[in-house]
Structure 1
Amino acid sequence: MARNGFFTGLDIGTSSIKVLVAEFVSGEMNVIGVSNVPSTGVKDGIIVDIEAAAEAIKSAVKQAEEKAGITIDKVNVGLPANLLQIEPTQGMIPVPSESKEIKDEDVDSVVKSALTKSITPEREVISLVPEEFIVDGFQGIRDPRGMMGIRLEMRGLIYTGPSTILHNLRKTVERAGIVVENIVISPLAMTKSVLNEGEREFGATVIDMGGGQTTVASMRAQELQYTNIYPEGGEYITKDISKVLKTSMQIAEALKFNFGRADLEEASRSETVKVDVVGSDQPIDVSEYYLAEIISARIKHILERVKQDLERGRLLDLPGGIILIGGGAIMPGVVELAQEIFGTKVKLYVPNQVGIRNPMFANVISIVEYVGMMSEVDVISQRAVSGEELLRRKPVEFGMVKERVVPMFNEKVEQPVVPAQNFQEQNQPVYNPEPKEQKPKLGERVRGILGSMFD
């Protein structure tokens, strides 16, 4: 059941930083303020310059405050899946009270008993999510408070991450003059928010196509089964266009945003746009088809890597299929190209919040929804994690429970991915007129995707 009150989410991305303020009233989430500013000090989803990132966060918070009409002093921050590990855990305590009635403090104690005391300084516990409580052998209990029993047990999942990343995240937000209320694991929040009840139960995969990286998360049986980060995103498409056409990054970004598409079948061979290039006084003509070849090559490269890993984990055939979110998924033809590559149903998720019906806001919306929908038991568990200094360590294994480690890839990708043609020699557009349906000219099709996001 949702908690009433105001909650603020902070999404620190490679290309942009987003802040969203929402009010929960009787289980309903109402967005009252949102901001989106260019990101600085962040590379491939990781903070590399604390001061620069803090200034960008300050700017985003200020804009959100102006729109919401409130002062923001604490935020819930999304944490990417970089080197995330998911491990099962369990704890057990005797119920100490004379009445043997289980209270809040008993839940707090059993959560703390499920946490390790071993010293592994390079990792830190981010969150503990209870899956079930057991009272005197009776299993499947979601909230044991108010029940009577002699022994209380808990089984759940612990999420851990690198201490360095977590320290830098907290330090950056604090440097911006804001308190970190909760650190939310973005893939976990993303799957819970984007997927419906049936998709979470029977299985589905969410692909977040961001600016600096692509995040993949699969959920089945209400549990996060797999998550991975690929250090390629929309910025790499822009770099490819810039390198292939020998033009500036600003022009390349404008070409991608205004005229880019991912499907070659719908791209025109005859319609062209003039592009200023380095080393030439005269602009060159670039066809929409030529531009689509550059764009689709990079997107295919990313999605084919995702497909290989999903096949390896036997997650490609989940009944819920593939759901795309993120700014990179907005481009025309991405859904059709993804369907061709994955061979399964693919859909674009569009948030239903008034004024921000844009897939690029799905992540920050999911952060606020996740925190606002936390149960009282979840809140107690998270406070136990946040308030225990010894939790800054990796959990130990319990019995024969098998550890589930989320694989990660963080390698750099420097070279542009382009079709098997010499684009540098092909400075002239490709003309091959074919009978097609009449379409508006390029200038008429400049897409104002972001223009109405703050309606």
Structure 2
Amino acid sequence: MARNGFFTGLDIGTSSIKVLVAELISGEMNVIGVSNVTSTGVKDGIIVDIEAAAEAIKTAVEQAEEKAGIKIEKVNVGLPANLLQIEPTQGMIPVPSESKEIKDEDVESVVKSALTKSITPEREVISLIPEEFIVDGFQGIRDPRGMMGIRLEMRGLIYTGPTTILHNLRKTVERAGIETENIIITPLAMAKSVLNEGEREFGTTVIDMGGGQTTVASMRAQELQYTNTYPEGGEYVTKDISKVLKTSMQTAESLKFNFGQADVSESSESETVMVDVVGSDEPVEVSERFLSEVISARIRHILDRVKQDLERGRLLDLPGGIILVGGGAIMPGVVEVAQEVLGISVKLHVPNQVGIRNPMFANVISIVEYVGTMSEVDVIAQAAVFGEELLRRKPVDFNPRLDNSRPSYTTTAPLPTFGNDEPINTAMEPLPTVERPQEEQQPREARPKLSERVRNIFGSMFD
């Protein structure tokens, strides 16, 4: 169910930083402010200079505030797919309330129990998406709240990323003077925003051709099946033009934007453009065909790498084909080249929001849409993840107090494994307390001697 209210998305890209403020009412998104500024301190989608990136974010936020007419205090930040890992997880808790009715607190507890999955220190949980809840063995439940049960289970997917990248992201947003409300996995948000219900179910791949990198995300059966990033994008096309023609990056960008054509067969040999080159006082005449050959070579190189990985993962034959988004996909001929290289149907996604009908805004739009369509259960799960990560980032007390009130048992033998090579829990429960007979509870000095007890027994036999 969609949520109503104002939501702000922040897309930190290699070439540009975008901020979008939108109001969602009954699932309909109305854009009230958007900004797009040149990115600094970001390389290949990763923040490499916190101060420079924070200044660019601050500028973008101020521009969005001016257009929207509201003060932005919290943002939902998109996280690229760099080194993203997806793993299944599950949790189980007994329902503690006397009425056995499942409440919000129980959903949060079962999510936290699923977060006990072993995560290496260099990685951090970004998000946990509940797939289904199980109440007393009844499966396929989307929202268990209000139901009655004794045992609550949850199965879902856990998304983890490098701790360094996440720390730098939070720190940069904090330096810009705003608060991070949610960290949203961009490929997941993109796939849910761009694809329709049928495409998500039967399988479709989204290729986001950004400035500094190209991101690929495949979704099937309503789940993100595969994601990968390639450190090449639109900026590499500009660099190629600059190197081959020996001209400045600014001139190369202008040539790409005004005369760029990725499909060589559609370019003209007779049409030419004058280019200022280094080491020459006079402009050099360059044909559109030659410019197109330079552009096409880089686009084909990127798509060839994507094709190899999709073929390796058996994802190239998904019924939904390929959908292109991103600023690098705007250039004429990119769709035709992609269809030729990949050998399947390819189409370009153009957002339908008024004023931002441009594929380069697809990322920031998807972030806002994803947050606005989060269910209440998803919100509870995300809050549980956020709370657990706050606890994990706190200093650890390495001198815990010993509790001598109950006995403990340890074993040095290796833990047994079964099937999936995961250790079986062999923790021993404390032994129950056994009531001693009244005679045994007496002090040793007060107990009758053995000879006296024997004499008494024989004496009673002859009485």
Deviations 1:373-403 (A, max 9, x none): 000000000000001135679xxxx986799
Deviations 1:72-121 (A, max 9, x none): 00000000001000000000000000110000000000000001264632
Aligned counterpart, 1:29: 29
- CA–CA distance in structure 2, aligned partners of residues 173 and 358 of structure 1: 26
Aligned counterpart, 2:254: 254
Please tell me whether residue 104 in structure 1 is matched to residue 104 in structure 2. yes
- Aligned pairs for 1:163-202 (under 5 A) are 163-202=163-202
Aligned counterpart, 1:133: 133
* % identical aligned pairs: 86
Q: Which amino acid aligns with 1:178?
A: I
Q: Is contact 1:50–1:168 with CA below 8 Å preserved after alignment?
A: yes
- CA–CA distance in structure 2, aligned partners of residues 36 and 134 of structure 1: 45
Please tell me whether residue 87 in structure 1 is matched to residue 87 in structure 2. yes
- CA–CA distance in structure 2, aligned partners of residues 356 and 399 of structure 1: 54
Deviations 1:313-346 (A, max 9, x none): 0000000000000000000000000000111100
Moved over 6 A (4+): none
Deviations 1:352-389 (A, max 9, x none): 11110000000000000000000000000000000113
Aligned counterpart, 1:421: none
Aligned counterpart, 2:227: 227
Q: Which amino acid aligns with 1:77?
A: V
Please tell me whether residue 73 in structure 1 is matched to residue 73 in structure 2. yes
Q: Is contact 1:351–1:357 with CA below 8 Å preserved after alignment?
A: yes
Q: Is contact 1:81–1:187 with CA below 8 Å preserved after alignment?
A: yes
Aligned-pair CA distance for 1:265: 1.0
Deviations 1:227-275 (A, max 9, x none): 0000000000000000000000000000000000100111000000000
- CA–CA distance in structure 2, aligned partners of residues 361 and 401 of structure 1: 43
- Aligned pairs for 1:177-326 (under 5 A) are 177-326=177-326
Q: Is contact 1:262–1:331 with CA below 8 Å preserved after alignment?
A: yes
- CA–CA distance in structure 1, aligned partners of residues 112 and 249 of structure 2: 50
Aligned-pair CA distance for 1:284: 0.6
Please tell me whether residue 345 in structure 1 is matched to residue 345 in structure 2. yes
Aligned counterpart, 2:409: none
Any unmatched runs of 5+ in structure 1? Answer: 404-455
Helix, strand or coil for the counterpart of 2:91? strand
Aligned pair count? Answer: 399
Any unmatched runs of 5+ in structure 2? Answer: 395-416, 423-463
- CA–CA distance in structure 2, aligned partners of residues 400 and 349 of structure 1: 44
Please tell me whether residue 148 in structure 1 is matched to residue 148 in structure 2. yes
TM-score by structure 2 length? 0.85
Aligned counterpart, 2:63: 63
Q: Which amino acid aligns with 1:304?
A: D
- CA–CA distance in structure 2, aligned partners of residues 191 and 29 of structure 1: 17
Aligned-pair CA distance for 1:144: 0.2
Q: Which amino acid aligns with 1:343?
A: G
Helix, strand or coil for the counterpart of 1:174? helix
* Change over 3 Å in CA distance of 1:7–1:331 after alignment to 2: same
Q: Is contact 1:124–1:391 with CA below 8 Å preserved after alignment?
A: no
* Change over 3 Å in CA distance of 1:69–1:271 after alignment to 2: same
- CA–CA distance in structure 2, aligned partners of residues 243 and 129 of structure 1: 45
Helix, strand or coil for the counterpart of 2:352? coil
- Aligned pairs for 1:368-447 (under 5 A) are 368-388=368-388, 389-390=390-391
Helix, strand or coil for the counterpart of 1:292? helix
- CA–CA distance in structure 2, aligned partners of residues 26 and 195 of structure 1: 20
Backbone CA RMSD of aligned residues: 1.5
Q: Is contact 1:117–1:390 with CA below 8 Å preserved after alignment?
A: no
- CA–CA distance in structure 1, aligned partners of residues 232 and 119 of structure 2: 34
Q: Is contact 2:89–2:117 with CA below 8 Å preserved after alignment?
A: no
Q: Is contact 1:125–1:392 with CA below 8 Å preserved after alignment?
A: no
Q: Which amino acid aligns with 2:122?
A: E
Aligned-pair CA distance for 1:347: 0.2
- Structure number with bigger Rg: 2
Q: Is contact 1:385–1:391 with CA below 8 Å preserved after alignment?
A: no
- Aligned pairs for 1:346-365 (under 5 A) are 346-365=346-365
- CA–CA distance in structure 2, aligned partners of residues 17 and 225 of structure 1: 28
Helix, strand or coil for the counterpart of 1:265? helix
Q: Is contact 1:95–1:150 with CA below 8 Å preserved after alignment?
A: yes
Deviations 1:266-304 (A, max 9, x none): 100000000011111111100100000000000000000
Helix, strand or coil for the counterpart of 2:7? strand
Greater relative contact order (Cα < 8 A, sep 6+): 1
- CA–CA distance in structure 2, aligned partners of residues 22 and 237 of structure 1: 33
- CA–CA distance in structure 2, aligned partners of residues 340 and 359 of structure 1: 21
Helix, strand or coil for the counterpart of 2:71? coil
Deviations 1:188-234 (A, max 9, x none): 00000000000000000000000000000000000000000000000
Q: Is contact 1:163–1:392 with CA below 8 Å preserved after alignment?
A: no
Q: Is contact 2:206–2:216 with CA below 8 Å preserved after alignment?
A: yes
Aligned counterpart, 1:444: none
Aligned-pair CA distance for 1:180: 0.1
Q: Is contact 1:124–1:392 with CA below 8 Å preserved after alignment?
A: no
Aligned counterpart, 1:414: none
- CA–CA distance in structure 1, aligned partners of residues 127 and 4 of structure 2: 22
- CA–CA distance in structure 1, aligned partners of residues 79 and 235 of structure 2: 20
Aligned-pair CA distance for 1:28: 1.2
- CA–CA distance in structure 2, aligned partners of residues 312 and 392 of structure 1: 38
Q: Is contact 1:207–1:323 with CA below 8 Å preserved after alignment?
A: yes
- CA–CA distance in structure 1, aligned partners of residues 204 and 168 of structure 2: 32
Please tell me whether residue 10 in structure 1 is matched to residue 10 in structure 2. yes
- CA–CA distance in structure 2, aligned partners of residues 390 and 116 of structure 1: 13
- CA–CA distance in structure 2, aligned partners of residues 35 and 367 of structure 1: 15
Aligned counterpart, 1:159: 159
Aligned-pair CA distance for 1:177: 0.3
